[in-house]
């Protein structure tokens, strides 16, 4: 059995064709080209995607909003706001994005593999239940988590958002519930303006939203420490049945929007640590779903390192992971503050 399942579909390029946009079809071509790298040959298996139905989209979105997106079908250009536009085929492409997450999760639940990678457009984590924003139409990862609950009776899903921006839409979708543990690390203050330390969930969901707001310029080891000292222990206490990763490539050091300093090797390290967490808590089940990333070079180079780790092609120097584990305490203040707040909810952090 190959370790990794992948969706590979050229139709994701049919959204925002022939208009100038940062979130453009070249981003898809950049990540699909990585799949052809010789080091990955024979190490992943393709899964055929389907389109999500309007009824399925309603697991997260309001019928009125779904209808508003549907009505853009066939229109050469429609703007939901200054950032978020559609072209003729965008509605179907966005349904394909959601459906591809469903198809891949079905295969994982059949036991065909433990790991998945879904390179899709448009991204999803900014999409609110009733509103398009931040280049996102439907919330792919939130719908994936709901689908697991509705169709595969999964009780606990952990979503880890490593995009440089806060996953506001995903947070909204699960703010009141303990069925999804949402963890986001992101620049703050920055777009979309949410994701402060005090946003921890509400009612039954209190303690099941973890925000790690960060100033500009954090690099490989800072993000690795967040996973090692916070995310990993919390995952052990929560015991999710799967980890879903909102995988933005805009932490990359030369990204046009992200303002962070993560190298391609840093992406390999983050992936390795997330894989280790998944091995420890949920039999290795983990799916990476693409979000932002606006440097084509960054998507190619970071995407390659993520995929190599997912395919068990070792590229990391041993001392990089050892160095992290030798540092006994979380060193930087942003992480200390988050632990200070979250230890009220998580015994393991006390």
Active site positions, annotated:
126
When asked if residue 99 is in the footprint of Zn ion (CB under 5 A), the reply is no
When asked if residue 205 is in the footprint of Zn ion (CB under 5 A), the reply is no
Nearest to Zn ion of 256, 331 (CB atom): 256
For the CB of residue 35, give the shortest distance to Zn ion in the complex, in Å: 22
For the CB of residue 109, give the shortest distance to Zn ion in the complex, in Å: 29
When asked if residue 114 is in the footprint of Zn ion (CB under 5 A), the reply is no
Nearest to Zn ion of 105, 133 (CB atom): 133
Nearest to Zn ion of 40, 260 (CB atom): 260
Please select the residue that binds Zn ion; options are 250, 255, 301, 309, rule is CB under 5 A: 250
Nearest residue (beta carbon) to Zn ion: 292
C-alpha 64/C-alpha 76 separation (Å) is 21
The CA-based dihedral angle spanning residues 266, 268, 330, 237, taken in that order and rounded to the nearest 10 degrees: 150
How many residues in the chain?
350
Output phi, psi for 182, to 5 deg: -105, 125
The partner residues of 209 in beta bridges, in order of sequence, read 182
What's CA 140's distance to the chain center, in Å? 9
The tokens describing 250, both together, are 């805009």
C-alpha 25/C-alpha 206 separation (Å) is 39
x-marked contacts with Zn ion along 144-163 as a string, rule CB under 5 A? -------------------x
Number of separate helices (H) and strands (E) present in the chain: 12, 10
Residue with tokens 């933005």: 248
For the CB of residue 161, give the shortest distance to Zn ion in the complex, in Å: 9
Beta strands at 242-247 and 85-86: parallel, antiparallel or unpaired: unpaired
- Stretch of 90-98, 100-108, 212-220, 243-251 contacting Zn ion, by CB under 5 A: 243-251
Contact (Cβ atoms closer than 8 angstroms) between residue 174 and residue 142: yes
When asked if residue 298 is in the footprint of Zn ion (CB under 5 A), the reply is no
Nearest to Zn ion of 113, 190 (CB atom): 190
- Stretch of 5-13, 97-105, 164-172, 342-350 contacting Zn ion, by CB under 5 A: 164-172
Contact (Cβ atoms closer than 8 angstroms) between residue 123 and residue 292: yes
For the CB of residue 182, give the shortest distance to Zn ion in the complex, in Å: 16
When asked if residue 248 is in the footprint of Zn ion (CB under 5 A), the reply is yes
When asked if residue 292 is in the footprint of Zn ion (CB under 5 A), the reply is yes
Which strands form 157-161's sheet, in the order they lie side by side?
A: 44-46, 4-6, 115-118, 286-290, 242-247, 157-161, 180-187, 209-214
C-alpha 65/C-alpha 259 separation (Å) is 32
What's CA 172's distance to the chain center, in Å? 15
Q: How many chain residues are in contact with Zn ion, going by CB under 5 A?
A: 6
For the CB of residue 157, give the shortest distance to Zn ion in the complex, in Å: 21
3-class DSSP assignment, residue 191: coil
Nearest to Zn ion of 14, 27 (CB atom): 27
Please select the residue that binds Zn ion; options are 14, 121, 156, 165, rule is CB under 5 A: 165
Alpha helices in 110-188 (DSSP H): 140-152, 168-173
For the CB of residue 332, give the shortest distance to Zn ion in the complex, in Å: 21
Q: Which residues of the shown chain bind Zn ion in the complex (CB under 5 A)?
A: 163-165, 248, 250, 292
């Amino acid at each position: 059995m190959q370790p990794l399942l992948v969706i590979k579909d050229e139709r994701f390029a049919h959204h925002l064709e022939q208009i100038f946009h940062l979130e453009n079809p070249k981003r898809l071509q950049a990540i699909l080209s990585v799949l052809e790298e010789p080091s990955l040959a024979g190490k992943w298996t393709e899964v055929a995607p389907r389109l999500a139905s309007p009824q399925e989209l309603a697991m997260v979105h309001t019928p009125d909003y779904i209808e508003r997106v549907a009505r853009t079908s066939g229109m050469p250009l429609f703007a939901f706001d200054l950032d978020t536009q559609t072209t003729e085929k965008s509605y179907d492409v966005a349904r394909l994005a959601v459906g591809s997450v469903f198809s891949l999760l079905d295969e994982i639940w059949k036991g065909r593999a433990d790991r998945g990678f879904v390179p899709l457009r448009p991204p999803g984590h900014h999409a609110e239940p009733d509103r398009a924003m931040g280049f996102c139409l439907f919330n792919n990862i939130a719908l994936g988590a709901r689908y697991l609950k509705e169709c595969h009776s999964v009780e606990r899903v952990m979503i880890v958002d490593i995009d440089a921006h806060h996953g506001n839409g995903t947070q909204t979708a699960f703010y009141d519930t303990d069925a999804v543990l949402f963890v986001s690390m992101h620049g703050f203050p920055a777009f979309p303006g949410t994701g402060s330390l005090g946003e921890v969930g509400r009612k039954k969901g209190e303690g099941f939203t973890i925000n790690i707001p960060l100033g500009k310029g954090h690099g490989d080891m800072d993000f690795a420490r967040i996973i090692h000292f916070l995310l990993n222990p919390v995952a052990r206490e929560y015991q999710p049945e799967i980890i879903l990763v909102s995988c933005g490539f805009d932490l990359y050091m030369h990204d046009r929007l992200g303002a962070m300093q993560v190298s391609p090797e840093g992406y390999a390290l983050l992936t390795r640590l997330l894989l280790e967490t998944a091995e420890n808590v949920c039999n290795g089940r983990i799916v990476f779903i693409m979000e932002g990333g606006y440097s084509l070079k960054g998507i190619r180079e970071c995407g390659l390192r993520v995929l190599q780790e997912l395919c068990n092609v070792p590229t990391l120097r041993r001392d990089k992971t050892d160095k992290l584990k030798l540092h006994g305490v979380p060193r930087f203040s942003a992480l200390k503050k988050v632990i200070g707040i979250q230890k009220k909810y998580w015994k393991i952090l006390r």
